[in-house]
Amino acid sequence: MTATRRATDALIIVAVLLAAWQILHRIAGDTALPAPIATLTYLTQMLPTERFAQNAAATAEAFSLALLLAYVFGLAIGVWMGAHRLSGAVGEPILVAIYSLPKIVLYPVVLLIFGLGISGKVVFGALHGILPVALLTMGAIRAIPPVYLRSAHTLRLTPWQVIATVLIPAALPEVFTGLRIGFTVTLLGVLLGEMFASRLGLGSMIMSDMQLAQSKDMVTVTIILFAFAAIANAILLWIEHRLHRRV
Amino acid sequence: MSRVGLIRLAVIAALIGALEFACQTGLINRRTIVPPSEMAVTLYKLLASGAINADIARTLGVIVVVIAFSIVLGFALGVLIHALPRVREALDPLFATYYAVPIFIFYPVLIAIFGLTIFPIVVIGVATAIVAMIIATLNGLDRVPRVLTKVARVHRLSRVSTALTLQLPAAAPYLFTGVKLSVSYGFIAVIAAEFILSPAGLGRDIADAYADFNNRRMYALILFLLIVATIVNAALHAFDMRWAERGSGGSP
């Protein structure tokens, strides 16, 4: 009952969004915003093209490297600040302040240091992702009840056993939330970087299509990215719920 | 100031000092980063000359419009959706994924639809900021204790005075969280939109200075935006703290 109800709800929302798109298309005209059905049929033509494959590969490469950097540095900072009380107390407000800054204004600085190639957008994407991963990891480690560690001590577990059987299972669900949010904002960072200045990548493809008035291509790429982010988030959210239920 | 606060200040001062030192000694090339002192001097000159006043007014104006619109409309929509449980149930998954997709990538589509005016910037700003306010309003109204509505009924309060004297104050801390997020998101989205493509504004100024290799101007403008954002965030944080203190006083 609830499952079918949820499915109908989702269908209604999608239908409403498509209807809104159709109406905007009527108002704006075909050159500005192609119709939903035309876009979806165009999708099948665009996916196999060389141009799309090349740009998608460039974005995929930059995004995976940026995500790796964000996770490694975010987890390292989070564990350090979670375990070391003073560092956490000193550093947390600084991280929170940086988190709420418009990081886009720092992109020229990143470009001047790392250049226009792939490393610039990788670093910029990672800059977005490090903060939520670090903040949530820190919170997860601080929230581990001290009684867990005391019982581990009573059981005379070795440090490695403590890490593997107590610390990681206790912190994992919340850390995973950080990784999920890190995924989203890193993707946004890489795409923003590509939109501003890049020769390759889906973000730059959207911008050049807009400037050349190729609305069909632009909207199609936007929808592909949107769908990718939504599906990836749904999968990560599903894993996250399972992790939370386990504890 | 507390010991932790002093250490924090020292850490920040040390970082800025290290950057200044590295720039002055040539460890960091001037064409990459100009010394922080020079950023500050250039910013002072820019502000004193009035050369960037128009862009400051424009950008901050757009941000204020976006934030005001998001807060007022977001609150109204939140109240409306809260009154319709069936609609809310249907919208919940949408709210849950909204900030997990990069909404900003629709900015070029908006430019294609509305043209390169101020309008796409306002739309992308509101689209980014408003949902946080809607979610916060729903959360706040959920947390209004049942007993308050009962008290209102006992005292035969009208619907309006119940809302104003009981429900609104009870939901206020959550609403303030929404305001805080709306301010932060609105700020970021407007600057990002100006930066990527826009007819004018501070974001556009920075992008132009970058393209012209005018590093002094670029760093001065970046410093200005970072200072404004930090002041706004610090003010909201301070307000939040005072609120939390007052809340933990006598109230239940």
Share of chain B above pLDDT 90, in %: 39
Q: Does a structural domain hold residue A222?
A: yes
Q: Does a structural domain hold residue A143?
A: yes
Judged on CB neighbours under 10 Å (0-12, 13-18, 19+), B247 is exposed
Which residues in chain A are closer than 8 Å to B230, comparing Cβ atoms? 97, 101
| Domain boundaries, given as residue ranges, for chain B | 52-211
Residues across chain B? 252
What per-residue confidence (pLDDT) applies to A179?
A: 94
Which residues in chain B are closer than 8 Å to A206, comparing Cβ atoms? 105, 108
Smallest Cα distance from A50 to chain B, Å: 22
What per-residue confidence (pLDDT) applies to B250?
A: 38
Residue from A105, A176, A240 to probe the interface with B (highest B Cβ count within 10 Å): A105
The shortest CB-CB distance from A210 to any of B7, B31, B108 is to: B108
Contact present, A106 and B195 (Cβ < 8 Å): no
A180 Cβ contact partners less than 8 Å away, ≥ 6 residues apart: A233, A236, A237, A240, B100
CA neighbor of B32 nearest in space, from A113, A124, A197, A115:
A113
Structural domain including A108 reads 58-246
CA-nearest residue to A94 within chain B is B8
Q: Does a structural domain hold residue A43?
A: no
pLDDT at A1 over 70: no
| Tens of pLDDT, residues B108-157 | 888 888 888 899 999 999 999 999 999 999 999 888 888 887 888 888 88
CA-nearest residue to A93 within chain B is B8
CA neighbor of B99 nearest in space, from A183, A218, A202, A191:
A183
The shortest CB-CB distance from A94 to any of B8, B221, B226 is to: B8
What per-residue confidence (pLDDT) applies to B245?
A: 67
Check B33 against A226: CB less than 8 A apart.
no
CATH of the domain at A202: 1.10.3720.10
Q: Does a structural domain hold residue A127?
A: yes
Please report the DSSP string for B59-86 in residue order.
HHHHHHHHHHHHHHHHHHHHHHHHH-HH
CA-nearest residue to A11 within chain B is B90
| Tens of pLDDT, residues A76-96 | 999 898 888 888 888 888 888
Contact present, B236 and B180 (Cβ < 8 Å): yes
The shortest CB-CB distance from A233 to any of B90, B100, B215 is to: B100
CA-nearest residue to B206 within chain A is A105
Smallest Cα distance from B89 to chain A, Å: 8
ipTM: 0.84
The shortest CB-CB distance from A9 to any of B12, B89, B209 is to: B89
Judged on CB neighbours under 10 Å (0-12, 13-18, 19+), B47 is middle
Share of chain A above pLDDT 90, in %: 34
Q: Does a structural domain hold residue A178?
A: yes
What per-residue confidence (pLDDT) applies to B194?
A: 92
CB pairs under 8 A between A and B: 143
How large is the angle between the packed helices B119-142 and B53-83, nearest 10 degrees? 40
- Of A126-140, A148-162, B70-84, B156-170, the least confident: B156-170
Q: Does a structural domain hold residue A42?
A: no
Number of domains in chain A: 1
Smallest Cα distance from A160 to chain B, Å: 32
Which residues in chain B are closer than 8 Å to A6, comparing Cβ atoms? 93
How crowded is residue A213: how many other Cβ atoms within 10 Å of its Cβ? 11
Query: Given this structure, which CATH class describes domain B52-211?
Result: mainly alpha
Smallest Cα distance from B49 to chain A, Å: 23
Q: Does a structural domain hold residue A31?
A: no
Contact present, A129 and A74 (Cβ < 8 Å): yes
Q: Does a structural domain hold residue A39?
A: no
Sign of CA dihedral B178, B183, B184, B190: positive
The shortest CB-CB distance from B32 to any of A13, A28, A112 is to: A112
What per-residue confidence (pLDDT) applies to B43?
A: 92
What per-residue confidence (pLDDT) applies to A247?
A: 57
Smallest Cα distance from B167 to chain A, Å: 29
| Tens of pLDDT, residues A11-58 | 888 888 899 989 988 888 887 888 888 888 888 888 888 899 999 999
CA-nearest residue to A205 within chain B is B108
Check B230 against A222: CB less than 8 A apart.
no
Check B196 against A192: CB less than 8 A apart.
yes
Check B109 against A222: CB less than 8 A apart.
yes
Where residue B251 falls among pLDDT bands split at 50, 70, 90?
A: very low
The average pLDDT across B147-174 equals: 82
CA neighbor of A62 nearest in space, from A211, A202, A205, A242:
A202
| Tens of pLDDT, residues A178-187 | 999 999 999 9
Q: What CA–CA distances, in Å, run from A224 to A191, A203, B100, B105?
A: 13, 12, 15, 11
| Tens of pLDDT, residues B183-230 | 999 999 999 999 888 888 999 999 999 888 888 899 999 999 999 988
How much is the mean pLDDT over chain A?
A: 88
Sign of CA dihedral A108, A109, A114, A115: positive
